[in-house]
């Protein structure tokens, strides 16, 4: 009897392991208003997009390492730096102390000057010293096995040819006015589109409003996506209708902090996006009040305290996916369309 049970258990574990290895897992790690997103391809290869902040006694590197452990990830195959800001690049020196990284991908050198920017860039260069390094340009593939990643923006440059299946006139351009020109690193963010079978996800880092328009007007060069990693922590300098409404995500996942991001007007753009089934957030955004936040069950961290909960996405080749909130064990499935 005992043997049978053990056999059954081991069989079901084997099935679970097998089922898991067929999926793409994405972990949205809470770095308190910065970005750190871990992709685990069905091949087992890994991509980490950004590393959160410096300082705080390894807070962000430890959170990344904890999620990596949970995902049975022992190394990062490709680290992608979206841009040289403290909430994305700052954590790299601590990250490399916690997890081995094989190859670093960025948009080239930092374009910002001043003591802080130069210190940040120097610390990043020191941390990646001696490792493989790729400077990515729009149109370049990310050579990870098992999923397809393509660079759509880097160093202020954009893909000029629409991705396969994209290229439709964008009706949301006319209703999206320009904003003031952004000369910061945000506008140089290295943006990527990820495809796994029929599943598509876009992550543009902190790419700002006018660059979004350049990318999306007059024709939509990205096409529609299943998941939109909300740009720039949900700040209203990004997330134009020209981008959000045209890519028409089923699900938006916002890597905001309690006191950073989640601008009410950006949340309005997200909530009014055609076909949006849910907005998920890493934090309740103090900027918004109840009206401009998603419902609690879709929020990883609802109190100000540093609870550090992540969100987990599991995507299947047929385009279906689930999002899971470890705080309250709430999950929702999005069937293939």
Chain residues binding Zn ion by CB under 5 A are 85, 87, 186, 206
Nearer to Zn ion, 187 or 201 (CB): 187
Minimum CB distance to Zn ion, residue 129 (Å): 24
With respect to Zn ion, which residue has the nearer C-beta, 25 or 37?
A: 37
Cα–Cα distance, 71 to 171 (Å, whole number): 41
Torsion of Cα atoms, 127 then 132 then 133 then 138, to 10°: -140
Q: Which is nearer to Zn ion, 87 or 236 (CB)?
A: 87
Give the nearer residue to Zn ion in terms of CB position, either 49 or 313.
Answer: 49
Residue 309 and residue 30 in contact, taking contact as beta carbons nearer than 8 Å: yes
Q: Which two tokens stand for residue 265?
A: 């007007």
In the complex, what is the shortest distance from the CB of residue 87 to Zn ion, in angstroms, rounded to a whole number? 4
Minimum separation from the CB atom of position 85 to Zn ion (A): 3
Residues 157, 93: Cα–Cα separation, whole Å:
27
* Paired sense of beta strands 330-334 and 321-325, if any: antiparallel
Least Å distance, CB 208 to Zn ion, is 9
d(CA 32, CA 239): 19
Whether residue 270 contacts residue 276, with contact meaning beta carbons closer than 8 Å, is answered with yes
Least CB distance to Zn ion at residue 111 (A): 12
Half-sphere exposure of 280 (CA within 13 A, CB side): 29
- How far apart are CB 186 and Zn ion at their closest, in Å? 4
Burial of 218 (0-12, 13-18, 19+ CB in 10 A): exposed
Instruction: Give which of 284, 282, 288, 291 is closest to 263, Cα–Cα.
Output: 288
Local structure of residue 296 (DSSP, 8 states): G
Residue closer to Zn ion by CB (options 89, 128) is 89
Distance CA 216, CA 178 (A): 13
**Tokens linked to 244:** 């959000």
Please give the structure tokens belonging to residue 313: 């996405």
45 versus 208: smaller Cβ distance to Zn ion? 208
Residue 232 Cβ vs Zn ion, minimum distance, rounded to whole Å? 6
Whole-angstrom Cα distance, residue 100 to residue 178? 42
d(CA 127, CA 130): 9
| CB closer to Zn ion, 77 vs 87 | 87
Q: Which is nearer to Zn ion, 72 or 119 (CB)?
A: 119
In the chain the first and final C-alpha atoms are separated, in Å, by: 44
């Amino acid at each position: 009897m005992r043997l049978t049970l053990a056999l059954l258990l081991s069989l079901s574990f084997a099935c679970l392991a097998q089922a898991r290895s067929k999926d793409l897992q994405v972990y949205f790690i809470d770095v308190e208003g910065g970005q750190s997103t871990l992709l685990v391809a069905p091949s087992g290869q890994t991509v980490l997009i950004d590393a959160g902040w410096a300082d705080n006694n390894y807070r962000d590197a430890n959170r990344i390492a904890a999620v990596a452990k949970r995902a049975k990830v022992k190394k990062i195959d490709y680290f992608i730096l979206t841009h040289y800001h403290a909430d994305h690049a700052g954590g790299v020196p601590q990250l490399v102390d916690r997890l081995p990284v094989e190859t670093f991908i960025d948009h080239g050198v930092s374009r910002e000057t001043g003591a802080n920017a130069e210190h940040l860039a120097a610390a990043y260069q020191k941390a990646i010293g001696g490792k493989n390094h790729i400077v990515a340009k729009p149109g370049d593939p990310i050579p990870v096995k098992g999923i397809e990643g393509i660079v759509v923006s880097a160093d202020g440059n954009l893909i000029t040819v629409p991705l396969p299946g994209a290229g439709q006139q964008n009706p949301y351009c006319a209703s999206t006015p320009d904003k003031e020109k952004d000369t910061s690193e945000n506008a140089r963010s290295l943006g990527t589109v990820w495809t796994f079978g029929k599943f598509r996800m876009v992550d543009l880092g902190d790419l700002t409003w006018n660059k979004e328009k350049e990318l999306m007007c007059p024709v939509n060069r990205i096409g529609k996506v299943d998941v939109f990693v909300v740009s720039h922590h949900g700040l209203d300098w990004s997330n134009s209708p020209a981008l959000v409404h045209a890519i028409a995500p089923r699900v938006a996942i916002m890597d905001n902090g309690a006191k950073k991001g989640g601008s009410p007007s950006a949340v309005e753009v997200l909530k009014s996006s055609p076909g949006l089934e849910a907005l998920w957030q890493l934090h309740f955004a103090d900027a918004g009040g109840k009206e401009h936040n998603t419902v609690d069950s879709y929020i990883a961290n609802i109190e100000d305290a540093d609870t550090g909960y992540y969100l987990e996405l599991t995507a299947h080749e047929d385009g279906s996916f689930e999002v899971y909130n470890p705080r309250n064990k709430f999950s929702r499935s999005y069937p293939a369309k």
